[in-house]
Amino acid sequence: MSLYLRQIGAVLRLEMRKTFLSRRGWWVYLLAFGPVFLTGMHWLIESARHGGRHSIGEDTLVFAGIFHFYYLRLGIFFGCVGVFSNLFRGEVLEKTLHYYYLTPLRREVLVAGKYLAGLLSATVLWVGSTAISFMLIGRHFGAAYNDYVFHGPGLGQLGSYCLVAALACAGYGAVFLMSGLFFRNPMIPAAVVMVWENINPFLPAFLKKISVIFYLKNLCPVEIPIPPPFNVMVIDADPAPFWVAVPGLLAVTLILLAYAALSARSTEIGYSE
């Protein structure tokens, strides 16, 4: 076991350098820091106006909308496509995967090390982006916002958003690592998963639960109502409680990783495609 842990650590260190410095992933940084730029501009503009146009509650509602519709449905989703799909697929395109396969390293260990590297990279980017954006969006209120965050509900909301962002990275990361391992073009399964996740509010109750977004949105501290006319098509389903949503997502993640690790034993490299 200690040997496997050392090997996972070695793969993790190598992959971290490759993931953070990858030229293929520059656009992931743009996705992650887009909301930081927007909330920073909001802070500067509202500070110049000396506030008074809206309340802290309205800003937190705006951030909830950003988190629901951008972070969960677009930013983190495509960010995980960029990070995790390239863990194996990028090696195939660069014709470097055989170097790993020629080492005395079990394929399961390789999958675990690559996944942890991708998870750490994605979590740092997206949890960091979430925290910075949340702190910036109401910064123009000054001491009142500090009081809201540190002596009111703000810190609890921030913790929930960061937890949801981390779980999204874990869940989507497992899905897209597996798709990068199995598919020549990972964008095809990514498109299928995206459609499924985005039509989730309109699915029957039992189908809603076969998705990542169903559990993630129930963990968000502020609920965003669906505007008309789409709200009439929404089918209500009992939300998953915290003690079901978090272990359930982690269990699904482990199952996907275990399947990917076992399947990696029989994968063959094809650089001629």
Does 271 fall in a domain?
A: no
Q: What percent of the chain has pLDDT over 90?
A: 28
Indicate if the pLDDT at residue 130 is higher than 50: yes
Does 69 fall in a domain?
A: yes
Answer with the residue of higher pLDDT: 87 or 238: 87
Does 44 fall in a domain?
A: yes
User: Among 2-6, 25-29, 72-76, 198-202, which is the least confidently predicted range?
Assistant: 198-202
Q: What is the mean pLDDT of residues 234-244?
A: 65
Check residue 47 and give its pLDDT.
83
Does 237 fall in a domain?
A: yes
Does 269 fall in a domain?
A: no
- Specify the number of domains making up the chain: 1
Question: Which amino acid, residue 243?
Answer: W
d(CA 261, CA 132): 35
Domain of residue 59, residue span? 2-264
Q: What is the mean pLDDT of residues 134-153?
A: 91
Q: What is the mean pLDDT of residues 63-71?
A: 92
Does 270 fall in a domain?
A: no
Does 272 fall in a domain?
A: no
Does 253 fall in a domain?
A: yes
